[in-house]
Structure 1
């Protein structure tokens, strides 16, 4: 979570000091959201090298397959090196390397479950355990995930 998520949550905290000050300064939630979408997070101190690489990733469904796409130079370089060692074909989770794929499978499924929780509408009574601040941040993340559609690279 970056400072931009906190900023968006602050202005949406109705009746809070932060929301009141920002409103008096003429700043609206939509203006913040639009500006956040325009600013390159990779050019700020919020972005770690891992987050910069992760922003180039994509998960998509094609038919009955899930494609996990990495576009960062480091992963591409490493994958090409392993591909050369395996005969330039796909790297399959079979034989002695099958167990090495288990953490990737586990982490991807956990990520998808977390994304579902973030994207689905809040259930009746949900949010009591999260707290007001956590609920605001969750709403901001939900809004950002829905409005943020990076252009397909290719």
Structure 2
């Protein structure tokens, strides 16, 4: 979560001091959202190396396969080295099967989380339901929806 998410959440926090100050300065939520969408977080301190790498990922779906594409140089280089050592594609068979379990689990958890965000579903039991967390979650949902409108990027 970057400072831009917090900024959008602050201006949308109905009745808060921050929202009042920002509105009194003539700043509205839509103007902030539009301006945030113009900038690239990679040019700021908000972008961690992990987020920068993640932004280069893509999930492609065919009839019966899902392809998780990594484009960051560090991951591509590591994958090439591993593939060279095993002499071809790395499959989850034999002694390395267990090493693929965390990847499978994380991918499925990510997909469920994306579905909940995109459908604006309620948080699961035990999740943080604090006012700030709900505001930020709403901002993240709105941001995903806006990005889908830009061709799904």
Q: Taking structure 1 as the reference length, what is the TM-score of the superposition?
A: 0.86
**1:152–1:24: structure 2 CA closer, same or farther, 3 Å change rule?**
closer
Residue 81 in 1 paired to residue 77 in 2?
Answer: no
Q: Structure 1 residue runs of 4+, over 6 Å off?
A: 150-153
**Helix, strand or coil: the match of 2:59?**
strand
Unaligned runs of 5+ in 2: none
**Helix, strand or coil: the match of 2:47?**
coil
Instruction: Deviation per CA, 1:110-130: give whole Å up to 9, x if none.
Output: 12222222222345xx9xx61
Shift of 1:132: 2.1
Count of residues paired in the alignment: 149
Residue 6 in 1 paired to residue 6 in 2?
Answer: yes
Q: How does 1:27-66 map to 2 (within 5 A)?
A: 27-66=27-66
**Helix, strand or coil: the match of 1:68?**
strand
**1:106–1:130: structure 2 CA closer, same or farther, 3 Å change rule?**
same
Q: Distance in 1 between matches of 2:112 and 2:104?
A: 12
Q: Distance in 1 between matches of 2:96 and 2:133?
A: 40
Q: Taking structure 2 as the reference length, what is the TM-score of the superposition?
A: 0.86
Q: How does 1:1-154 map to 2 (within 5 A)?
A: 1-87=1-87, 89-123=88-122, 130-149=129-148
**Helix, strand or coil: the match of 1:14?**
coil
Instruction: Say what the alpha-carbon RMSD is for the aligned residues.
Output: 2.3
